[in-house]
Amino acid sequence: MSQATVSELTVGMEIPEFQRATGLHNWNRYAGVNYEFVDIHMDDEAGKAAGYATAFGMGNLQWSYLHALLRQWIGDEGRILRLGCQFRAANTKGMIVTAHGKITAIREEDGETIVDLEIWTDNDSGKIMAPGTATVALPRG
Amino acid sequence: MAKTNISDAMQAAIGGELSRSTSFPITDSDIRRWAVAIYYPEDPPRLFWDADYAAQTSLGGIVAPEEFNPFAWMTAEGPRKTSVGHNPDLTEITLGIEGPGLKFQLNGGSEVEYGVRMRPGDVITSVRSLTGYSEREGRLGLMLFTRADDVWTNQDNEVVKTTKSTLIRY
């Protein structure tokens, strides 16, 4: 992120989205790295028994998407200082999951630009799944 | 006396250690695979797999994505023990005291503060401890909030992250 871009930031501005179509290809890869082999994420019958239309994605993968959202915005030289969220809903097969962020505060601390954001994931029906907040330090100019 | 699910024994147990675990050394392959899985079907950022590129950034080399879990598959303690299941009293059982015996539990969310990045070669230690109980009357009755901190440090005793989590029981 360039200094010119930083000076144009305003409270209320939304950052670029991070979006994925989700299903077994994503979930199996995530299960493989996080050792998260749970029937509800692998088997439609187990998903249905838990009240969903199909198997469903991991909350931890939404957690990763929120981090990826911030990383693609701040770049390799920025830092995620804090991130918190609640898991309120799950994504079933074929859903589009989108991670969003909106700036809520901007301040200077020790020569760094610190930005607070409201962050959330939603599905293609607009249902909010994982709402939260985050704080990042933008790259030094 | 007001109704409460927080016993004297529970109050006295605050600060107690719930778990402690150490990772095997993180490898660049662990980081690369994590990044590929998270970013699928697109390519992961070069910072997570291209050593030459990463060396030119201010980070000086490959780092792990912040949310990377070095404890997956197996920890340095060896194969995991049989799962203890989802007993809502697990917190208190771990601390050797009697739990409140509530039937239902929910993940009340997590908040993480990040410190130094995880890198190939790092050995991470996780220490999770009970930090407090509180109660509030809710739609479903008296809700018990149990807070725990999970602090991860690396081999140089630098804090990698602190996760504050809340368990809701009712």
pLDDT digits (tens, 9 = 90+) for A15-66: 999 999 999 999 999 999 999 999 999 999 999 998 899 999 999 999 999 9
The pLDDT value recorded for residue B83 is 60
Beta carbons of B38 and A68 less than 8 Å apart: yes
**B15 and B93 co-located in one domain:** yes
**B83 and B93 co-located in one domain:** yes
Residue B41 lies in a domain: yes
Tell me the whole-structure pTM to 2 decimals.
0.93
The pLDDT value recorded for residue B106 is 83
Beta carbons of A67 and B67 less than 8 Å apart: yes
Angle between helices B28-39 and A59-74 (to 10 degrees): 100
Task: Phi first, then psi: give them for residue B160, nearest 5 degrees.
Answer: -90, -45
Question: Does residue A1 have a pLDDT over 80?
Answer: no
Question: Does residue B2 have a pLDDT over 70?
Answer: no
Residues of A within 8 A of B45 (CB-CB) are 71-72, 76
Lowest mean pLDDT among A97-111, B80-94, B118-132: B80-94
Token digits of residue B31: 């980081």
Burial of A44 per CB tally in 10 Å (0-12, 13-18, 19+): middle
Q: Does A137 touch chain B (CB under 8 A)?
A: no
Residue B36 lies in a domain: yes
Report the pLDDT averaged over residues B115-119. Answer: 98
Residue B2 lies in a domain: no
Question: Does residue A139 have a pLDDT over 80?
Answer: yes
**B43 and B111 co-located in one domain:** no
pLDDT band per the 50, 70, 90 thresholds, residue B105: confident
**B51 and B107 co-located in one domain:** no
**B101 and B33 co-located in one domain:** no
* SS3 (DSSP) at A28: helix
The pLDDT value recorded for residue A100 is 98
Token digits of residue B54: 């990463």
**B14 and B88 co-located in one domain:** yes
The pLDDT value recorded for residue B16 is 97
The pLDDT value recorded for residue B118 is 98
Q: Which residue has the higher pLDDT, B55 or A50?
A: B55
Residues A66, A57: Cα–Cα separation, whole Å: 14
* SS3 (DSSP) at A83: strand
**B21 and B100 co-located in one domain:** yes
Among B58, B66, B72, beta carbon nearest to A34: B72
DSSP chain B: ----S--HHHHHTTT-EEEEEEPPPP-HHHHHHHHHHHHTTSPPPGGGT-HHHHHTSTT-S----TT--TTSS-BTTBSPPPP----TTHHHHHTTS-----S-EEEEEEEEEE-SPP-TT---EEEEEEEEEEEEEETTEEEEEEEEEEEEE-TT--EEEEEEEEEEE-
pLDDT band per the 50, 70, 90 thresholds, residue B163: very high
Across A99-126, b (16+ Cβ under 10 Å) vs e yields bbbebbebeeeeebbbbbbebbbbbeee
**B89 and B45 co-located in one domain:** no
**B38 and B90 co-located in one domain:** no
Which domains can be identified in chain A, with CATH numbers? 3-137 (3.10.129.10)
Residues A106, A137: Cα–Cα separation, whole Å: 10
The pLDDT value recorded for residue A47 is 92
CATH of the domain at B125: 3.10.129
In chain A, the residue whose alpha carbon lies closest to the alpha carbon of B166 is: A86
Question: Does residue B84 have a pLDDT over 60?
Answer: no
Residue B102 lies in a domain: yes
Q: By percentage, how much of chain B surpasses pLDDT 90?
A: 86
Nearest-Cα distance to chain A for B11, in Å, is 26
The pLDDT value recorded for residue A6 is 81
**B129 and B92 co-located in one domain:** yes
Q: Does B65 touch chain A (CB under 8 A)?
A: yes
Residues of A within 8 A of B36 (CB-CB) are 29
Residue B113 lies in a domain: yes
Residue B120 lies in a domain: yes
Residue span of the structural domain in which B38 resides: 27-69
The pLDDT value recorded for residue A32 is 97
Mean pLDDT of chain A: 94
Report the pLDDT averaged over residues B84-95. Answer: 86
Question: Does residue B81 have a pLDDT over 80?
Answer: no
Report the pLDDT averaged over residues A87-98. Answer: 93
Report the pLDDT averaged over residues B40-67. Answer: 98
For chain B, the domain total comes to 2
Residues A1, A119: Cα–Cα separation, whole Å: 19
The pLDDT value recorded for residue B85 is 63
Helix (H) or strand (E) holding A114: strand A112-122
Question: Does residue A4 have a pLDDT over 70?
Answer: no
Residue B3 lies in a domain: no
Residue B19 lies in a domain: yes
The pLDDT value recorded for residue B82 is 61
* SS3 (DSSP) at A1: coil
Task: Please report, for residues A21, A40, A78, the alpha-carbon distance to residue A51 in angstroms, rounded to integers and kept in the order given.
Answer: 21, 10, 40
**B91 and B160 co-located in one domain:** yes
Token digits of residue B160: 């990698």
**B18 and B102 co-located in one domain:** yes
Q: What's the pLDDT tens digit per position in B90-99?
A: 999 999 999 9
